[in-house]
Amino acid sequence: MSIEDLESIALAMVAPGKGIIAIDESTNTIKKRFESVGIENTEENRRAYRELLLTTPALSEHISGAILYDETIRQSTKDGVPFTQIMKKNGIIPGIKVDKGTVPLAGFPGDVVTEGLDGLRERLAEYVKLGAQFAKWRAVINISEDNPSSTAIEANTHALARYAALCQEAGLVPMVEPEVIMDGDHSIEVSYEVHEAVLRSLFNALYEHNVLVEGTILKVSMVIPGKESDEQVSVEEVAEATVRVLKTTAPATLPGIVFLSGGQNDEQSTAHLNAMNRMGPHPWPLSFSYGRAMQQAALKLWSKDMKSNYGEAQKVVHARAKDNGLAALGQWKG
């Protein structure tokens, strides 16, 4: 695939007023989500839930793509149509999570590094055959008095760059996700400093690995105080700090930036995105790639009656997509 093809897919992923739904939870993570609302964690229930999300009527009005899990990209609707086939028919770009999760970084207590590079070239080739057009790799950066170490930042951004280069070799748009975790009592200033260090390291690593930025999407956390912090910050302060760190670190040639919700509630994640876009124009589109913030309300409704509430749950999914699509244009009214 040429760079022009990669660039066109990347631009379609951040088309005006559209974002990405993340339904790439591992089996263990979806188990926790299901248990919280009383749903049994069976393969059929997982398949049915993902079908509910992916077949939501008119979803592509506000959703450009969906990140899938290994199990999900191999599944089909109840009528036997592969999910990737129905997604493409409905104008939704299939993506796939390819990292293998985090492990402790030896020698640096509190820091973690993401695994999954071994055998990745072969896995990417298979995912292309299954219909994927982009991939995602998540790095996790913890904040405490001792974390993150510079070694942890470099190890994680190096892995992101190696993954991104392999994706582009396979003809996939890499979504690079360095998530600065909200856990902790750190201030918004500390969050800013860590984001700046991580993003500088990331784009240096991408350059060193000959990754074409024009065919890459950045998925990033917002600059926000830790969840245990007593600091009170406004929506505008979060938006201003986040945009400032991105303008300081992200090249203008990047096709687009999408945010993760990262522990924020539904309204917070939408309000922050909306405020950022009202500050524009920016060098790149700012959109969303939300998981829980897109799904949780619909999951709760569906769990109460999985047959009768199916259509109503889909309406909730569409409503959340619409709100965030408007926020991606700076037009959400709240």
**Residue 123 domain boundaries:** 3-327
Catalytic, 177? Answer yes
**Residue 262 and residue 225: Cα distance in Å, rounded?**
12
Q: What angle do CA 106, 32, 198 make, to 5 degrees?
A: 40
Query: Is 32 contained in some domain?
Result: yes
The pLDDT assigned to 63 comes to: 98
The pLDDT assigned to 265 comes to: 86
Which amino acid does the sequence have at 263?
Answer: G
The CATH number of residue 24's host domain is 3.20.20.70
The pLDDT assigned to 274 comes to: 98
Q: Could you tell me which of 221, 153, 218 has the C-alpha nearest to residue 182?
A: 221
The pLDDT assigned to 162 comes to: 98
Listed as ranges, residues in the chain with pLDDT below 70 are: 1
How many folded domains does the chain comprise? 1
**Residue 198 and residue 156: Cα distance in Å, rounded?**
9
Query: Is 333 contained in some domain?
Result: no
The pLDDT assigned to 1 comes to: 64
Q: Tell me if the bond preceding 283 is cis, omega within 30° of 0.
A: no
pLDDT digits (tens, 9 = 90+) for 194-217: 999 999 999 999 999 999 999 999
Cβ contact 217:175 at 8 Å: yes
Query: pTM above the 0.85 mark?
Result: yes
| Number of CB atoms found within 10 A of residue 251's CB | 14
**Residue 188 and residue 194: Cα distance in Å, rounded?**
10
Query: Is 215 contained in some domain?
Result: yes
Among candidate residues 35, 177, 228, 312, the one labeled active-site is: 177
Structure tokens of 242? Answer: 């986040």
Among candidate residues 219, 267, 307, 315, the one labeled active-site is: 219
pLDDT digits (tens, 9 = 90+) for 237-259: 999 999 999 999 999 999 999 99
Query: Is 211 contained in some domain?
Result: yes
Give the three-state DSSP class for 92. coil
Instruction: Give counts: helices (H), strands (E), the chain.
Output: 12, 10
